[in-house]
Homo-oligomer: A and B are copies of this chain.
Amino acid sequence: MISLLQRFEQQTLAESGQKLHQFAAELYPICRSITGDGIRRTLAMIGDRIPLQISEVATGTAVFDWTVPKEWNIRDAYIKDSAGRRVVDFRENNLHVLNYSTPIHATLSLSKLKEHLFTLPEHPDRIPYRTSYYSPKWGFCLTHKQMLALDEDGYEVCIDTTVEDGYLTYGESYLPGQSSEEVLFSVHSCHPSLANDNLSGLTVATSLARLLADIDRRYSYRFLFIPGTIGAITWLAQNTEASKRVRHGLVLTCVGDAGGFHYKRSRRGDAEIDRAAAHVLRHCEEPAEVLDFSPYGYDERQYCSPGFNLPVGCLMRSVWGTFSEYHTSADNLDFIQPDSLAKSLRACVAIVNVLEDNRRYVNQSPYCEPQLGKRNLYRTTGGDSIGTEINARLWVLNLSDGGHSLLDIAERSNIPFFIISEAARILCEAGLLSPSLND
């Protein structure tokens, strides 16, 4: 059986990064929202790469404390000056429209118009990204420079949208494994032309699902491509039973920028996914920080609500809200790096490897050290130092009392999990180790 890590390493990091970035570039122009054709088109493109089951949930469906909203679609939007020139044009950048804007077609004075404009004075060249899903409003987002250039005039504003009964759409890719216990990967897919948040997550998750499709899997895997908040709530409301099978989970967001990794722990704080992610990041040779859980953030908010309390963490590079490009037009295709995307995928692969291989073993020769030398598992000339491989064997033998998992051993020894795991494989072959029956 070929391992996930080997599958990943069959292509170079550079190749992998290029593919990820290219897919992001294809997805970038689409005007997505939490409902509507933008998300449908996005899911179709993901479905070209991995098996994807699409769900459509009707407007008005009650999902816990929420209700599936009307479906939003947009054809065009602009502000024209009295000379008929489009001074703000949706066709140039879909961030120009307040996402979920109600339709309007009217002529307004500059001062009336300004009540519906959003800008970023501190970043005068960037268009902000703003939404109003649940309170009906119309508005435009534009650069502060654009707004300053508007003279007193009568402006024709047109937002050609519909907000009508329809559906909320999401996709899921399910890969069955030996166990019905699931590993959940969840990415939001509702953001329009924003690259790090969250095309990066969409592309990395899609590639990870492709890699996983071809290996023997201990766990079953579920990839959710859903609109933020309402999508996770809808899935949890309609799949409450399935959610109980989630043994480990990860929300992916902002995994494409040049910053170091951040892993936000699950509400539980010490779940296996928390320890696996922290371990992988500690050994990933990039700057990495582990953050405590907090209830604000992405869809871990829903998975970690007290009624569910699922072991779901969140992997990021730069943390949303902390970089100035966040939720602006500067979060574009230049802001995400092929190399960063590829290394984020590699980190996911390494985390999955830990989850798949993390088992308990029992030392079959627990009284004193077994004689590794006679099995050619030790150095031959005494007096010299031993290397990490042999040291890993000693750690695995010493702690494999049925109570310690390989991840426990990797943590306590501060040796990368994949070396500990390889030591366990070799010791099993030598008959010195057996899987614990209670695992």
Since A131-B383, A237-B367, A302-B369 are in contact, a sample of 10 more A-B pairs with Cβ atoms closer than 8 Å, ordered by chain A residue number, is A65-B365, A65-B368, A66-B368, A66-B371, A98-B381, A118-B381, A130-B384, A132-B381, A294-B413, A296-B391
Bound-state Cα–Cα, A391 to B295, Å: 8
Is A146 on the interface with B (CB-CB < 8 A)?
no
Q: Which of B132, B302, B381, B399 contacts A368 (CB 8 A)?
A: B302
Cβ contacts A140-179/B at 8 Å (1 or 0 each): 0000000000000000000000000000000000000000
A306 touches B366 (CB 8 A): yes
Interface of A with B (CB < 8 Å)? 63-66, 98-99, 118, 128-135, 137, 229, 232-233, 236-237, 240, 267, 292, 294-296, 301-302, 304-309, 321, 327, 363, 365-371, 373-374, 380-386, 391, 394-395, 397-401, 412-413
The 9 closest A-B CB pairs, nearest first, are A307-B366, A131-B382, A295-B398, A307-B367, A295-B394, A65-B370, A306-B401, A130-B383, A233-B368
A394 to chain B, nearest CB (A): 4
A236 touches B306 (CB 8 A): no
List residues of chain B with CB within 8 A of the CB of A233: 368-369
Q: How many copies does the complex hold?
A: 3
The residue in chain B whose Cβ has the minimal distance to the Cβ of A375 is B65
A361 to chain B, nearest CB (A): 11
The residue in chain B whose Cβ has the minimal distance to the Cβ of A367 is B307
B232 touches A380 (CB 8 A): no
Bound-state Cα–Cα, A398 to B305, Å: 6
List residues of chain B with CB within 8 A of the CB of A321: 385
Q: Which of B309, B369, B371 contacts A305 (CB 8 A)?
A: B369
- Determine the main DSSP class of A at the interface with B: loop
Q: Which of B65, B295, B382 contacts A133 (CB 8 A)?
A: B382
Bound-state Cα–Cα, A217 to B134, Å: 42
A84 to chain B, nearest CB (A): 30
A188 to chain B, nearest CB (A): 12
The residue in chain B whose Cβ has the minimal distance to the Cβ of A302 is B368
List residues of chain B with CB within 8 A of the CB of A383: 99, 128-131, 327
Bound-state Cα–Cα, A131 to B383, Å: 6
A249 to chain B, nearest CB (A): 15
